[in-house]
Structure 1
């Protein structure tokens, strides 16, 4: 039986620029960083105190050229992920000051307060402070 979701893969064009964005702007921490002899790299990030890891995957050295090109064509086209926060307005201001691009300002909705931002490749993320139950 399934136990838990351990990793999500995010296709990136450049591991270093993606690592800087997610750690410096969004507050993720680097978890694993292993380089193979063929130039490929296993690089994961995660939020402090959360087990789930995101694989920052540059397919260039991992796959045949045609397969890598197909994967790179998907950069910036991930479905929206939802990140919870307990202080939406504070997180919004910190992210804005760090240069994160927001597509919407904070707004109250029936399920809480939300704002949409993008990463350096244009992937959309929903920042959500859930309503109190």
Structure 2
């Protein structure tokens, strides 16, 4: 029986630039940063007070050249993730000030307020504040 989702892997071209983007621009924290005996790097980030960790994975550190190239071809093609906030416009403005690129203006929809943004590799994320249907 499954217990929880613990990690999600995000393929990146450069662990340092990805770490800087996610911590400096989006407010994630670095959780684990370890080097293996073979020199490969285990680097994870997460949101404060949330268990789920994102593995920033540079395939060139872990895999043969041909496998690494196949994985690098997937950079920027992850499925859209939805990041929820309790204060949409404050978060939106902070992200914009941090240089995060939004693909359009915020829009009000029946379930809340949303806007799509991208990371430095072109992965798309949805910033969302839901409304209560009480």
RMSD of aligned residue pairs (Cα, Å): 0.6
- Residue 127 of structure 2 aligns with which residue? 127
Cα contact 1:88–1:106 (8 A) shared by 2 = no
Cα deviations across residues 58-110 of structure 1 (Å, max 9, x unaligned)? 01020111000000000000010000000111100000000000002111001
Q: How does 1:66-85 map to 2 (within 5 A)?
A: 66-85=66-85
Counterpart mapping for 1:39-58 below 5 A = 39-58=39-58
* 3-state DSSP of counterpart to 2:54: strand
Match of 2:32, SS state, is: strand
Unaligned runs of 5+ in 1: none
Residue 35 (structure 1) aligns with: 35
Q: CA deviation at 1:37?
A: 2.9
TM-score normalised over the length of structure 1: 0.98
Paired residue for 1:61?
61
| Structure 1 consecutive aligned stretches of length 4 or more whose deviation exceeds 4 Å | none
1:59–1:72: 8 Å Cα contact kept in structure 2? yes
Q: Which residue of 2 aligns with 1:91?
A: 91
Aligned to 1:102: 102
Deviation at 1:127, TM superposition (A): 0.2
3-state SS, counterpart of residue 33 of structure 1: strand
Q: How many residues align?
A: 133
Unmatched runs of 5 consecutive residues or more in structure 2 = none
- TM-score (norm. length: structure 2): 0.97
